[in-house]
């Protein structure tokens, strides 16, 4: 397919049916055979569902079972926490600038030694569009997309405003994603 063998499909408005197909009834029987075959195969698996993922029905019983997400999955953005329980973020404001939904709001402060840090780092999840630009633009690998997608639904819009304490996660939890980000964006930047 990649070697140029892909030809564009043409729509044939007037399909020439053979006599066999024009009789219709045999084609109906063929269709019924296919669906009945699926029916028979799955009937016994549906009455006695085999344990684990051995069954051929791909349905995931959501609250009990969950999908294993790939590294590329973009859940809600999180802040990376260093060993000393402080954030990696230096409050440069690039993510705030690039955010298409204007979901991020940062108020920077300076420490005694002159380092900047975000005194407030607020993400409004009702505005976030999960694009991952903040992660891409961040020079310090301080904000990454995670695999967290639950508990975003609430009864109150105030609950969707996440402050710094709610966003901070230890670095080793987000290790896999940070590695992925390094790999994928370094490849793009070459």
Partner 1 sequence: MIADLIETIAKILFVFGINMGFFSPILGWVERKQSAVMQDRVGANRADIMGYKAIGLFHPIADAIKVMVKEDFIPDGANKIFHTLAPFISLTCSIVTFAVVPFGGQYEIFGHKVNLVIANLDVGILFVFAFASLAPYGAVLAGWSSNNNWSFLGGMRASAQMLSYEVAMGFTIIGVIMVFGSLRLTDIGMMQEDFFRWGIFLQPVGFILFLTCAIAENKRIPFDMPEAESELVAGYFTEYSGMKFVMFWMGEFLEIVTISAIVTTLFFGAWHLPFITDADLVNFFSFAGQTGSNFLAILVNVATFLMKVIFFIWLQMTIRWTLPRFRYDQVMKLGWKMILPISLINIFITAVIILV
- Nearest CB to partner 1, comparing residues 36 and 154: 36
State how far the Cα of 19 lies from the Cα of 21, in Å rounded to an integer.
5
Check binding of 67 to partner 1 (CB under 8 A): no
CA R_g for the chain:
26
Residue with tokens 């409004």: 124
**Residue 55 three-state SS:** coil
The least distance separating partner 1 from the CB of residue 27, rounded to whole angstroms, comes to 10
Cβ 58 to partner 1 shortest distance, Å: 7
Out of 7, 18, 59, 190, the residue judged to bind partner 1 by CB under 8 A: 59
- Whichever of 45 and 100 has its CB closer to partner 1, that residue is 45
DSSP string covering 141-177: S-EEE-S--SS---S-GGGGEE-HHHHEEEGGGGHHH
Distance CA(94)–CA(178), nearest Å, equals: 18
> Which residue's CB is nearer to partner 1, number 7 or number 35?
35
Q: Per CB under 8 A, which of residues 13..52 are in contact with partner 1?
A: 25, 28, 31-32, 34-36, 38-39, 42-43, 46-47
Give me the residue label for tokens 């002159």. Answer: 114
The residues of the shown chain that bind partner 1, judged by CB under 8 A, are 25, 28, 31-32, 34-36, 38-39, 42-43, 46-47, 56-59, 61
């Amino acid at each position: 397919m990649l070697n140029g063998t892909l030809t564009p499909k043409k729509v044939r408005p007037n399909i020439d049916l053979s006599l066999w197909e024009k009789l219709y009834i045999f084609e109906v029987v063929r269709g019924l055979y296919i669906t009945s075959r699926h029916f028979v195969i799955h009937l016994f698996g549906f009455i006695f569902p085999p344990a684990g993922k051995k069954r051929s029905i791909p349905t995931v019983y959501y609250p009990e079972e969950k999908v294993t997400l790939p590294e590329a999955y973009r859940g809600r953005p999180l802040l990376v926490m260093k060993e000393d329980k402080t954030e990696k973020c230096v409050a440069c404001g690039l993510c705030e600038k690039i955010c298409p939904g204007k979901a991020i709001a940062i108020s920077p402060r300076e420490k005694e030694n002159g380092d900047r840090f975000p005194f407030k780092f607020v993400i409004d999840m009702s505005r976030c569009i999960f694009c991952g630009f903040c992660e891409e633009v961040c020079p310090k690998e301080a904000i990454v997309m995670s695999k967290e997608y639950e508990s975003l639904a609430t009864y109150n819009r105030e609950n969707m405003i996440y402050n710094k304490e709610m966003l901070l996660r230890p670095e080793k939890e987000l290790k896999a994603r940070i590695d992925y980000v390094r790999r994928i964006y370094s490849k793009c930047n070459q």
